[in-house]
Amino acid sequence: MSKIDNNDLILFQRGELGEERKKLIENELRSDLKLQQELEVLIRADTAMENHFTNFQMPKDFQKEVKKKFKKEFNFSSFLNPKFILSYSSGIATACFMFVFIYTLDPFLQLQGQRNNDIVVRGGINKNLNKTTLPQEWIVNENLNFQMIKFKSLNEQGLFVKNNESLLEGDKVLLRLIPLKDLKVSFGIKNRENSSTIKNNFFLEKGKEISLPKAISPTENFFEVKGPSGKETFFIKDKNNQIIFDFTYFIN
């Protein structure tokens, strides 16, 4: 008992001792009978106290009152609290910034915006076409959005032509383009090994939809598919004569 006093035993009981001191007391307790008896008295006191606490459970009516205090109160006027406005306005500002940032990068979002926003200039699109007959699918790359649409007649629903799809000689097609940036381009066709240019030095304005052939030949609404049969590729080259987009189909 020389090294350990009652204060140590209290701290030991309460788990407030460091590891080293705790081990020392555990060792002493194994051999020191008087220390064991001291600890036993403290434990009996704990038991008596714990029994005493069972007399004081929280009454049910007060429990209800406490519960009420924890219920979240909705107060509409809190939205007008300057602190609250500050707390959400920064979040809204961040969200707007992120949207603008992603919008500038993501052609799908731009495309969606252009489809749904009448303010967007739709300069070259054939005015005779009923927009509702135009398909909604688009081919998208980093430079532009593209559609080849096949018509049997003006009154029919236009059909979206997929890459490597087959066309019949005599089919009428138009091409729709929405550039994602300002570009000076040339349009051309490659059939087998023969390339031909449709239009050189054509300026594509970012976000302004055009349709071909209308944009280059205002009296023409459609291209008519002609032979020779086989694989044909429509391509767009930039001002450095690099192909920035191509679209392949097969003529039967």
Partner 1 sequence: MSIREQDIIDIYPRIMAFAFSKTRDKQKAEDLVQTTILKALENKEQWSNVKNLSAWLITICRNKFLDSVKKSTEQQFTDTTDDTNLVSDNLSDDGEVKKIFEDCSQQLEANKKDVLFMSYIKGITTKEISDIIQKPQNTVLTWLANAKKQMIECIEG
Binding piece for partner 1, criterion CB under 8 A, among 57-65, 81-89, 163-171, 242-250: 57-65
Residues 120-159 interacting with partner 1 (rule: CB under 8 A): none
In angstroms, give the least distance from the CB of 55 to partner 1.
Answer: 7
Q: Total residues contacting partner 1 (rule CB under 8 A)? A: 31
d(CA 170, CA 127): 22
What is the H or E stretch that residue 214 is in? Answer: none
- Asked whether position 73 contacts partner 1 by CB under 8 A, the answer is no
* Interface with partner 1 (CB under 8 A), residue from 30, 34, 52, 72: 52
Binding piece for partner 1, criterion CB under 8 A, among 39-47, 127-135, 139-147, 160-168: 39-47
What is the H or E stretch that residue 245 is in? Answer: strand 243-251
* Interface with partner 1 (CB under 8 A), residue from 18, 20, 60, 70: 70
E strands present in 158-206: 159-160, 165-167, 172-179, 183-191, 194-204
Give the residue carrying structure tokens 């929280």: 58
d(CA 149, CA 167): 11
Q: Per residue in 38-64, is it b (16+ CB within 10 Å) or e — as a string?
A: bbeeeeeeeeeeeeeeeeeeeeeeeee
* Interface with partner 1 (CB under 8 A), residue from 2, 30, 37, 56: 56
Residue numbers of the site for partner 1 (CB under 8 A)? 6-7, 9-11, 14, 16, 41-42, 44-46, 48-59, 62-63, 65-67, 69-70
